[in-house]
Homo-oligomer: A and B are copies of this chain.
Amino acid sequence: MNIVLIGSGNVATVLGKKIQIAGHDILQVAGRNEAACAALSTVLKCSFTINWNFINQQADLYIIAVADTALEHIHAQINLGKKIVVHTAGSVSKEVLHKVSKNYGVLYPVQSLHKEKEVLPEIPFLVDGNSNDTIALLKDFAETISDKVRVAADEPRKKIHLAAVLVNNFTNHLYALTEDFCKNEQLDFKILLPLIEETAERIKLYSPADVQTGPAVRGDETTINMQLGLLQQYPPLIKLYELFSESIRSMHKNKNPG
């Protein structure tokens, strides 16, 4: 398919690369940030524009990968008639595009995308559209770049986006707090990397609740109190430690008597 990418950030860059690898043609990058558009057009070997009036009209699919706040106003700037237009946001309704085109939908990558990363991750997609034809076309397109594609309306997509915040943003912040703790205590955070990888890897095989370990699930109050003592200088970690321990106990109280 012939594609125009609207946006020049992390999502536009990574999707653009994936789409080209799958054999599609990126005709143009369009956006507000001239330097970023120029850089991305160099990577993708295509033209670019920073003027909405000059958006190439020959594409089969227009992918709008801009900030959620910019999406709310996009209908005042771009009209693409009957062209198929999608946005890539987890928590924004597809209806934000209903004045942009008669045929619109969503192509939401369930992944954390960073343009600096050279190795492109596997990207599951949730697709949606305002008609069955659009949904079918977007599903077929997504399946050319991913083998994990599901159709999901606005509400379930928002919930998956929330779940992604929990397992990605919050997990990453736990890593960041732990790295800070290690730095302050002169410990080598990197010694934890194999454990962090194993924790993520094993839930491909096991349900996480079935492989829960640690002092809280054992009811080991001695270790819990000792560890809380070590966190005295780290108030956010104390609160998280208490909340996690309470929640682990509560989830497992009927499974692990004693």
> Which residues does A use to contact B, with CB under 8 Å?
68-69, 91, 110-112, 114, 117, 121-124, 126, 148, 150, 156, 158-182, 185-189, 191-205, 207-209, 211-217, 220, 222-223, 226-227, 230-231, 236-237, 239-241, 243-244, 246-248, 250-251
Contacts and interface: CB of A to CB of B under 8 A. Distances in A.
B176 A112 contact: no
A165 B217 CA distance: 11
Contacts of A180: 209, 251
A66 B91 CA distance: 48
A168 B112 contact: no
A112 B195 contact: yes
A2 to B, nearest CB: 27
A231 B110 CA distance: 19
24 contacts: A68-B220, A110-B194, A112-B198, A121-B194, A122-B194, A122-B197, A160-B187, A162-B227, A162-B231, A163-B178, A165-B214, A165-B227, A166-B241, A167-B174, A168-B214, A169-B215, A169-B244, A170-B240, A170-B244, A172-B203, A173-B248, A177-B247, A197-B201, A240-B244
Highest count of chain B CB atoms <10 Å: which of A150, A171, A194 = A171
Contacts of A189: 163
Nearest to A193: B204
Contact of A195 (B158, B168, B194, B207): B168
Contacts of A217: 169
Copies of this chain per assembly: 2
A194 B148 contact: yes
| A interface, over-half SS | helix
Contacts of A220: 68-69
B202 A200 contact: no
Contacts of A124: 191, 194-195
Given A158-B230, A239-B243, A167 B192 contact: yes
Contacts of A161: 227
B114 A168 contact: no
B112 A199 contact: yes
